[in-house]
Amino acid sequence: MQEWMEKIRKVPDFPKKGILFYDVTPVLQDPVSFGNVLEAMAAPFERKKIQVVCSIESRGFIFGAALANDLGAGFVPVRKPGKLPWKTARQEYDLEYGKDALELHIDAVSPGQKVLIVDDLLATGGTAQAALNLLRKFNADVVGASFVIELTALGGRKRLDGIEVRTLLSV
């Protein structure tokens, strides 16, 4: 695991000054590292009978679609407003300087379906919490959430109370 963790590129001042961006693209370029990450993300949820992997735009799609395949589950994208072509439900959430929202097709999940939320990074938890709240509107059984990286100092895990949260790398 150390091998792929060292491949994560740290980019200072991106997308704005003062932010340290964790770039996972070097991991994606190496099929062995990418496979190891997917295997590690899937392992805690293999026996949970996940029916749907729900991933958050945009890097979450990369991991989520592959995990859905590995877990024998369907894949559902959660997108920014105006990106989905059919009827959607919407969940707004607060940002540091304003608001944003996520949308999901109204027929994307059914009540009681076992869902896993997937994204590349857990920071403040606002986006993941919005996805969780959106899925709960449909009475989905959100089993857990899986992330490649967690920025522990930002406390995002606390916003996902009530579900199992797994991360591969905590910084």
Q: How far apart are CA 123 and CA 106, in angstroms?
A: 27
Of 56, 52, 68, whose CA–CA distance to 143 is shortest? 52
Q: How far apart are CA 108 and CA 51, in angstroms?
A: 11
Structure token digits, residue 94:
């607060």
Widest pairwise Cα distance in the chain: 43
Of 122, 168, 123, 116, whose CA–CA distance to 145 is shortest? 116
Q: How far apart are CA 82 and CA 85, in angstroms?
A: 8
Enzyme catalytic residues: 59, 96
By the 8 A CB rule, do 150 and 167 touch?
yes
